[in-house]
Structure 1
Amino acid sequence: MATPHEPKQDRSRATRLRLLESTIDTLAETGWAAATVAVVAERAGVSRGAAQHHFPTREDLITAALEYMFDIRMEHSKAEAAAFRSASAHTAAQDPARTEAVVAQLVESYTTALFKAALQVWTHAAADPALRERIVPLEARFGRVSHRLAVEALGVDDADPVAHHLVQATLDMARGLGLADVLTDDSARRKQIVHQWAATLHMALHAPR
């Protein structure tokens, strides 16, 4: 049964969500310096006072945005992995086409606005121990889940140390290619690298031990 407080709570949740999404968009498009409470509030279409009701300080806003980014990235990674498994259910793990599809998917996940926003925070955290302390656990947890999903998509045994390190190298490469795409459109070169690395990865993963 609805209560008199539900509409107000819904509005409050909607305002909070707009602020978090505006923070991510601001970080991705105009960088760390622009992501102040005042700028984010204006972009979200709410008053500064309303923004500070939810996030009294900029640190509160950025921390909440980081947690929200983590949740979204986790949801996207899981959804992409599920979609891939569904689309390639008929394709054996030993098929090179499956390996290339997985690598391409991993790499493209590092060219999104979420990655660009996270990159702004990582850069600032390098010189801010308090912020670094907040984000390192989130990134470590995201890294573990990303690794597990990549292992499942590739259909390999993570207990095999060679396979484990090859999967991690693929994720590290994907992050590096994402960095290369920040300043210029690197899609053509990225496609060639994905194709070559996928072939190399496939042979290494399925070579006799």
Structure 2
Amino acid sequence: MTDAGTKTDTDAGTGTNTDAGGRTAKGPKQDRSRATRRRLLEAAVACLAERGWAGSTVSVVAERAGVSRGAAQHHFRTREDLFTAAVEYVAEERSAALRTLFPQGAADRRDVVAALVGLYTGPLFRAALHLWVAATDEEQLRPRVTELEARFGREAHRIAVDLLGADESVPGVRETVQGLLDMARGLGLANLLTDDTGRRDRVVAQWAVLLDESLGR
């Protein structure tokens, strides 16, 4: 038997439980909702990377995520909402994962350069690139993608400065770090059509040497 003072009722359509005092409590429905949203975001990035903008619809993403189209639209009102949220979500996950690779801060610069280059290769970069291309023709998508890319660029720069132990008060250091990220983006583009691993490894090694000379060991 449930005590009258602790009985909970689920608010219709919200997944929020409230107790007798009106306080909210997380419930199974909320957990399922978060899990569904995560599946949709991950499916959206995978579809965008594999099919491009034209081939990635809400219905395709919903099917891949194993949910109904209606459930997808409950979480994301428009197609643009879904895909910009998806790329932002995975970018944040990748940034967080990158920081955990080097919990003590500055590490061997070659490892750091390789990890930073990794931000611009793989499904996330492919998905982001398809969004950029779509944004050139989609007026309502362009400002959102522009802001998303600017935000990711700022975060990538902050991470690079921290992990490289770079002192941006020294003239030229900021440009050196930004040059590294621009190079990483270029390597990501080169890898879209063919496996560029061998050349990329050599470029990463050389950039690590240049950084040691520019930033100090």
TM range (shorter): 0.7 to 0.9
Residue 37 of structure 2 is aligned with which of 16, 20, 28? 16
Aligned to 2:138: 128
Matched, 1:143 2:153: yes
In the alignment of these two chains, the number of paired residues is 196
Listed one character per residue, the Cα deviations across residues 154-181 of structure 1 (whole Å, up to 9, x for unaligned) are 1221111311111110011011101111
Contact 2:91 2:124 in 1 (8 A): no
Change over 3 Å in CA distance of 1:185–1:59 after alignment to 2 = same
Instruction: Provide the rounded CA distance (Å) in 2 between the counterparts of 1:50 and 1:152.
Output: 40
Matched, 1:85 2:105: yes
Where does 1:164-175 land on structure 2 (aligned, <5 Å)?
164-175=174-185
Contact 2:87 2:127 in 1 (8 A): no
Instruction: Provide the rounded CA distance (Å) in 1 between the counterparts of 2:85 and 2:199.
Output: 35
Change over 3 Å in CA distance of 1:196–1:63 after alignment to 2 = closer
Task: Say which structure, 1 or 2, has more relative contact order (CA 8 Å, 6+ apart).
Answer: 1
Query: Structure 1 segments of 4 or more deviating over 4 A?
Result: 1-4
Listed one character per residue, the Cα deviations across residues 107-150 of structure 1 (whole Å, up to 9, x for unaligned) are 12211221111111111112223212112222222222211221
Larger-Rg structure = 2
In proportion to residue count, which structure has more helix? 1
Q: Which amino acid aligns with 1:126?
A: T
Q: Which amino acid aligns with 1:43?
A: R
Offset at 1:190? Answer: 0.5
* Identical amino acids, percent of aligned pairs: 55
Where does 1:100-119 land on structure 2 (aligned, <5 Å)?
100-119=110-129
Q: Which amino acid aligns with 1:200?
A: L
Offset at 1:73? Answer: 3.2
How big is the alpha-carbon RMSD for the aligned residues of Structure 1 and Structure 2? 2.2
Contact 1:70 1:138 in 2 (8 A): no
Offset at 1:22? Answer: 0.5
